[in-house]
Amino acid sequence: MAKKTVKPYLDQPGSKKEQVTHMFNRISGSYDLLNRMLSLGIDVRWRNVLVKKLKAGHPGSVLDVATGTADLAIAIARAIPSARVTGMDIAAEMLEIGRKKTRDQGLESQVTLEVGDAENLPYPDDSFDAITVAFGVRNFEDLERGISEMSRVLKPGGRLFVLEFSQPKGWLFRPAFQLYFKYLLPLIGRLTSKDGRAYQYLFESVQAFPEGETFLEIMRMQGFGQTSVTTLTFGTCSIYEGLR
């Protein structure tokens, strides 16, 4: 089962879902810049690894859940020109930035961006050949329900790909990772986005996320088979896969 719920703002009212929506709308203008700075651009390579795995299955329709500013949806569209890509996110301000990016790259006819709730997906059963989520499942209020919903809207034989932060296990790299995420990252976030708490939440949500075999078991309980996990960059990130 999932670990305890971690909210972005400890001293404010509202559910985790409401707070996450507010947080991402608030930091939307600096989100892409901070991602590049804070990951030294490695997040781009992580997405490319996921896209390569996805492309091998030749999906005709892809749903990118928690698409944010649509980086992954755009990468999928560019790698698989025949695919129809739907990006969905709960934060409207993030999607507005994503729409500008798709227009600038001439991808409006291939990529559709929609406001929606990952735990109540607004699509019929068996709608998509594949589903992706990049750095989004940590923010679900009800993780099991979110995974169940993705299973529901996947076609039989469709695949789920989840890209998410994880905690490195190496005795040397793990302490450096913890210090960076717990102290330096919130400071940079506070100076750049005016919301240091959002990046403190990032650290806390990574600590609370049921990673590795625990997350694979949640996937299996929600109807996924042939589950597997691939770790990247000393274990700081993982790609989880499952077959509907």
Name the burial class of residue 84, with classes exposed (0-12), middle (13-18) and buried (19+) by CB atoms within 10 angstroms of its CB: middle
pLDDT of residue 138: 93
Structural domain count of the chain: 1
Is the confidence at residue 202, as pLDDT, over 90?
A: no
Residue 238 in any domain: the answer is yes
Q: Which of 68-82, 91-105, 182-196, 199-213 has the lowest mean pLDDT?
A: 182-196
Residue 109 in any domain: the answer is yes
Residue 112 in any domain: the answer is yes
- Can you give the pTM of this predicted structure? 0.93
Is the confidence at residue 2, as pLDDT, over 50?
A: no
Residue 36 in any domain: the answer is yes
Q: Looking at beta carbons, which pairs linking 140-143 to residues 24 or more positions away fall under 8 Å? A: 141/5, 141/15, 141/16, 141/17, 141/20, 143/2, 143/210, 143/218
Residue 7 in any domain: the answer is no
Show the domain range for 160.
16-167+210-243
CATH code of the domain covering residue 34: 3.40.50.150
For residues 151 and 2, the model is more confident at 151
Residue 135 in any domain: the answer is yes
What letters, b where the CB count within 10 A reaches 16 and e where it falls short, cover 124-146?
eeebbbbbbbbbbbbbbbbbeeb
What pLDDT band is residue 38 in, cutting at 50, 70 and 90?
A: low
For residues 191 and 88, the model is more confident at 88
Residue 23 in any domain: the answer is yes
For the residues 136-156, what does the mean pLDDT come to? 97
For the residues 25-33, what does the mean pLDDT come to? 86
Q: Where are the alpha helices (DSSP H) in the chain?
A: 16-39, 42-55, 71-79, 92-104, 143-153, 173-179, 185-193, 196-208, 213-221
Residue 26 in any domain: the answer is yes
pLDDT of residue 67: 98
d(CA 222, CA 122): 18
